[in-house]
Amino acid sequence: MLDKTLKEIHEALINKQVTSEDLVKEALAKSYEIKEKYNAFVTILDDAKGRTVTDDLVSGIPFGVKDNYSTKDVLSTGSSNTLNNYVPFYTATVVQNLFNKGAIMVNKTAMDEFGMGGTGTTCHTGPVLNPWDKTRMCAGSSAGSACAVASGVYPYALGSDTGDSIRKPAAFCGIVGYKPTYGMLSRYGLFPFASSLDHCGVLTRCVEDAAIIVDAMKGQDENDMTSWDSSNIHLEKHLNDNVQGKKLFYIKEIADLENYPNASVELKEHLQNFHDTLNKFKTLGVEIEGVSINQELLNAIASVYVIISCAEATSNMSNLTGIIFGPRGNNPKVMDMIKEHRTLGFSPLIKRRFVIGSYVLQKENQERYFKNAQRVRRLIVDKIEELFQKYDGLILPVSSGPAKHFDQDDDCIDENTSVLEEHLQIGNFGGFPSITIPSGFINDLPVGINITGARYHDELVLNLASKLESLMPYKGQIAKEVTK
Amino acid sequence: MPKFTKEMVDDYAAKLLIGLTEEENKMVLDEFEAIDKSIENVTKIKGIEKIEPMTHALDNFIFSLREDKAAPSIPIEDALRNAARVEGREIEVPKVVD
């Protein structure tokens, strides 16, 4: 039953074809199976119980929560050894909003440590395997949530997205990943990584479920001063609006094959899939044009992201000392004790990014690195906003193809880091609403397409995504392991 | 601009209270080299120095602040429950001053 949509499951509950208790049992049994096969969870909540079914579509239905959301009395580690025993005494606002509507949390999902990776391999519980092909990664950081939803454990799980941490795993797992406009969802209770870029969001198997869940979670929160009143936004209500005459653009430098003279067969197929998908969309009367953007700005995206996110993370995570929470080091001297906690607790990726973050924040380096990164952030955002004056949204392929093998991506940026891999970070730079949906298969593995819109235009972004989804046969798909 | 060196990486790591292996130190320098090249290109963008740095996703946003009223604090038991060592109603901390 949990491989259905929220509305289908809700109807079955109302018609008494199934009980909430049955659903919890099914989700827990499936959780153990998926943990064993793909290592997707940090914690499975054996004591989860069925709840009363009401008119709320989420009532009585299980869901998963990424392990960087604070959940009262439930272990919340951020997939880090530095918090491997941390049990919060309060619940994140967005999770509480779902609880208030009768939703049932059944597990906490594994992730790249504190959200700082894009591979799903730096979780303290080990790498999360892709449910379509265990030799490949889910991408990250919301790896466990993507894996679980794609495997049919439940219809949705919460993720967080600082660079592309919801939207890329969604593509690699053949599902939907949506992060709303910055501030529509309260970040209170989300472990901070880079506060100016961090977004809450959701992974689902169809656009309608993403709309239903964000409608249920959103709302201004006095505990998050960056949240805003979205009571006039009704995502689900506008999913079927007519999209004829809407105008989208794609960035030629990113999506046109002629820019990749040495393209692999996989990349060629991926970009062909993208342009084929655009042609399908045009049959609904949507106009789509290629637009050129200064290549220098596009090439700077990855570095700008690393500089800003590492600088903010270095500051945000300076409280991880092992003194007030987390396991303490054994050294009797306080500084050595903290150093032991941090050296042994953090993964190599985090440690090196802290050093980079600290370096770019030094007084003598700030202007060249941190301030210039922030300036380029503005130039990129201003350019995209200028285009949003003329167009209703930006549409682009996600990544350079399907999920990568574990040895194909070590999360280091180098000179060859492709803009195609990193462009979703534009959505975080500007706080734009952004959604990935599945758009096909390459070598039997799913690939995705992304639509990003102007701030506060979430209804339109989801409307466009829903209409495009309706033209393709991937809505609600469950991962099937591919034998290679 | 002085080059980011192996010794500097170790120095920053020490200030951050983290230890790095030789391999990790090299990875910092390799990754930073790519960042530095990218930023070098950024500095060549005409008029870049006049652009106002963007510090936030919604920097035209008017934040709403709570009223400055005293509210209940969390129970002390809750604050203590994640500390490794506790004495009575306080967190036991290691000696800080030698």
Which of A84, A81, A142 minimizes the C-alpha distance to A111? A142
High-pLDDT (> 70) share of chain A, %: 98
Asked if A359 lies within 8 A of B4 by C-beta distance, the reply is yes
SS (H, E, C) A248-271: EEEEHHHHCHHHCCCCCHHHHHHH
Domains of chain B, by residue range, sit at: 6-50
Domains of chain A, by residue range, sit at: 1-484
Would you call B70 an interface residue with chain A, using a CB distance cutoff of 8 Å? no
Query: A34-75, pLDDT tens digit by residue?
Result: 999 999 999 999 999 999 999 999 999 999 999 999 999 999
Catalytic-residue membership of A30 = no
| Torsion angle of C-alpha atoms A137, A273, A299, A164, degrees rounded to 10 | -40
Would you call B76 an interface residue with chain A, using a CB distance cutoff of 8 Å? no
Would you call B88 an interface residue with chain A, using a CB distance cutoff of 8 Å? no
Residue B41 to residue A63: CA distance in whole angstroms: 45
Distances (CA, A) of A151 to A37, A124, A456: 11, 22, 32
CA distance B85 to chain A (A): 8
Query: A415-466, pLDDT tens digit by residue?
Result: 555 899 999 999 999 999 999 999 999 999 999 999 999 999 999 999 999 9
Average pLDDT, chain A: 95
The region of weakest confidence among A67-76, A308-317, B34-43, B44-53 is B34-43
User: What is the pLDDT, as a whole number, of residue A88?
Assistant: 96
- Determine how many CB atoms are found less than 10 A away from the CB of residue B19: 16
Nearby residues of A202 by Cβ (< 8 Å), 6 or more positions away: A156, A157, A158, A159, A166, A177, A178, A210, A213, A214, A217
CA distance B44 to chain A (A): 10
Which of A132, A6, A121 minimizes the C-alpha distance to A58? A6
Which of B15, B13, B40, B42 minimizes the C-alpha distance to B27? B13
Cβ atoms A434, A423 nearer than 8 A? no
pTM: 0.96
Nearby residues of B13 by Cβ (< 8 Å), 6 or more positions away: A351, A354, A355, B19, B20, B25
Distances (CA, A) of A137 to A126, A134, A144, A170: 12, 7, 11, 12
Cβ atoms B18, B10 nearer than 8 A? no
CATH architecture label of A1-484: Alpha-Beta Complex (3.90)
User: What is the pLDDT, as a whole number, of residue A484?
Assistant: 54
Q: Which of A35, A66, A218, A246 is catalytic?
A: A66
Q: How many CB pairs under 8 A join A and B?
A: 177
Q: How confident is the model over A261-272, as a mean pLDDT?
A: 92
User: What is the pLDDT, as a whole number, of residue A325?
Assistant: 86
Q: Tokens 């964000």 sit at which residue?
A: A214
Catalytic-residue membership of A160 = no
What is the ipTM for the molecules in this complex?
Answer: 0.92
